[in-house]
């Protein structure tokens, strides 16, 4: 079970297959639909349950006898008034609205044979786009699926039409693998849907090189990332409006590719992705997750952005992080271990976390999180901003060195890259901070600085749960 848990954390999916040698009873089909829906709605892990019935078993048996890549044939009944055929560049083209339930009849979805010419196979069901597809299928807006979806592209070596029936040979889907595998994972629900369609583009392309070019071209769009899908979220827009009203010379960037005009104060320019990562490190106290934009804007978005967060806190977090990053330059002013410097994509968030813990430990509120704006204001008043950043950096260094020197289990080698992503490193950082603060208790000049870290209890709150 521990190995299975590790696999899930690493992004693997679980695929269940219900293999039957006869048709299911009505009761069994109802149970299958309930289980599929439960798995589709699960936020804890990604899993699918699909039916392998006698027809699918026969198809797989026939495919296993093929010595070369399977040559898929399929006949598709087109609905009158919902398709158009044409010729473009001497190529037969059919564009059609296909009922979602009819998609289940396409051969080779489960084993990937339908996607043999695609540049990639299924990426699993845990990414944000596939989650949206599942959500639409199970929602009362399933009839809008056609408008929400970009469509599916399929090519055939031969294609003809017999009345309203499209006859295809050498069928392969070159763009739509993720969509069709997700639709299959919700098969029992999909079978019930009426008036729910997806757009298909069918091309007759007998030339192999041309087919390969189409496959590459239709899958080479700029990737839409989870943070892109959140850029117009009402909570994000509310944060942007509040921040820019409070700081007219600043800017809150919500979209990738946005650039701040030269007249804006660069110290007051905040990026949505950066804010999410800083919130994870400071308020959720999970810097080991901060590096992952996918998790922040997909799995943990509700936890991080469900609150009204003041512009002053946004500004303070941004300034703390700017101070942190200044110490990760080539000059290495904090004397970081070379191993830490090599992990610049991850470790600065642990540095930011350590700053918050300096205030928490000195105030004896280790189980709570300080207000970043209050912490910054007091550190400036006491003249200890650079000192706090340095103490946090030293604690991070000590934590890594202590971990390196710990005995390892047999046949195990210590990996700093793995250590920095675990919760174990957080307790090591906390211990290093506690040790430094204890040593300062009787040191001339240091005691006053330590007292400058103490904040009132009202300026602390419990961490935002993110695991």
Give residue-wise pLDDT tens across range 74-131: 999 999 999 999 999 999 999 999 999 999 999 988 878 888 776 556 666 666 678 8
Reported as a pLDDT band with limits 50, 70 and 90, residue 423 is confident
pLDDT number for residue 108: 87
- Predicted structure pTM score: 0.64
The pLDDT-based confidence of 364 (bands split at 50, 70, 90) is very high
Q: What pLDDT score was predicted for residue 119?
A: 58
Whole domain around residue 391: which residue ranges? 226-462
**Domain termination site, one of 149, 183, 217:** 217
Please report whether residue 209 resides in a domain. Answer: yes
- The pLDDT of 284-310, averaged and rounded, is 89
Least confident range from 46-50, 85-89, 416-420: namely: 46-50
**Are 134 and 159 in the same domain?**
yes
Least confident piece of the model among 59-63, 288-292, 307-311: 59-63
**What does the pLDDT read at residue 408?**
77
Domain count, the chain: 2
- Mean pLDDT of all residues in 435-463: 88
State the pLDDT confidence band at 456, using cuts at 50, 70 and 90. Answer: very high
- Within-domain flag for 467: no
Residues 208 and 266 in one domain: no
Burial of 290 (0-12, 13-18, 19+ CB in 10 A): buried
Lowest mean pLDDT among 112-116, 260-264, 434-438: 112-116
Mark which of 168, 193, 217 sits at the end of a domain: 217
What is the average pLDDT across 327-348? Answer: 90
Same domain for 203 and 234? no
Same domain, yes or no: 234 and 141: no
| Cβ–Cβ under 8 Å, residues 428 and 352 | no
pLDDT higher than 80, residue 444: no
Answer with the one of 169, 195, 217 that is the final residue of a domain: 217
Sorting pLDDT into bands at 50, 70 and 90, what band is 266?
A: very high
pLDDT of residue 67: 44
């Amino acid at each position: 079970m521990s190995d299975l848990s590790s696999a899930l954390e690493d992004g693997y999916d679980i695929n269940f297959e219900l293999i039957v040698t006869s048709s299911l009873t009505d009761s069994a089909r109802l149970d299958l639909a309930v289980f599929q829906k439960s798995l589709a709605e699960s936020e804890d892990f990604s899993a699918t349950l699909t039916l392998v019935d006698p027809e699918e078993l026969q198809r797989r048996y026939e495919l296993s006898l093929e010595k070369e890549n399977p040559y898929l044939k399929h006949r598709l009944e087109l609905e009158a008034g919902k398709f158009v055929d044409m010729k473009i560049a001497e190529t037969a083209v059919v564009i059609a609205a296909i009922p979602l339930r009819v998609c289940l009849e396409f051969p080779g979805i489960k084993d990937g044979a339908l996607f043999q010419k695609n540049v990639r196979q299924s990426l699993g069901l845990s990414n944000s786009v596939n989650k949206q597809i599942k959500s639409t299928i199970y929602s009362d807006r399933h009839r809008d699926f056609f408008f929400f979806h970009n469509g599916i592209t399929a090519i055939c070596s031969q294609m003809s039409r017999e009345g309203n029936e499209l006859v295809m040979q050498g069928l392969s889907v070159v763009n739509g693998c993720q969509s069709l595998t997700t639709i299959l994972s919700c098969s029992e629900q999909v079978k019930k849907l009426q008036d729910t369609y997806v757009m298909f583009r069918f091309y007759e392309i007998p030339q192999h090189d041309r087919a390969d070019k189409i496959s590459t071209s239709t899958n080479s769009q700029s990737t839409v990332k989870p943070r892109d899908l959140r850029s117009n979220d009402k909570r994000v827009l509310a944060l942007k409006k509040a921040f820019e009203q409070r700081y007219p010379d600043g800017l809150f960037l919500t979209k990738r590719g946005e650039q701040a005009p030269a007249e804006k104060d660069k110290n007051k320019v905040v990026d949505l992705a950066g804010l999410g990562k800083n919130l994870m490190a400071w308020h959720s106290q999970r810097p080991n997750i901060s590096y992952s934009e996918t998790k922040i804007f997909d799995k943990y978005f509700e936890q991080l952005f469900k609150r009204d967060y003041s512009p002053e806190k946004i500004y303070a977090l941004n300034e703390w992080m700017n101070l942190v990053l200044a110490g990760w330059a080539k000059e290495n002013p904090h004397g970081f271990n070379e191993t830490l410097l090599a992990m610049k994509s991850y470790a600065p968030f642990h540095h930011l976390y350590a700053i918050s813990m300096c205030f928490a430990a000195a105030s004896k509120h280790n189980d709570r999180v300080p207000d970043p704006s209050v912490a910054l204001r007091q550190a400036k008043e006491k003249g200890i901003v650079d000192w706090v950043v340095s103490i946090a950096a030293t604690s991070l260094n000590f934590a890594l060195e202590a971990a390196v020197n710990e005995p390892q289990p047999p046949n195990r080698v210590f990996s700093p890259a793995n250590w920095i992503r675990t919760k174990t490193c957080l307790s090591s950082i906390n211990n290093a901070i506690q040790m430094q603060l204890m040593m300062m208790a009787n040191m001339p000049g240091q005691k006053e600085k330590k007292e400058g870290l103490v904040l009132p209890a009202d300026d602390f709150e419990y961490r935002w749960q993110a695991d």
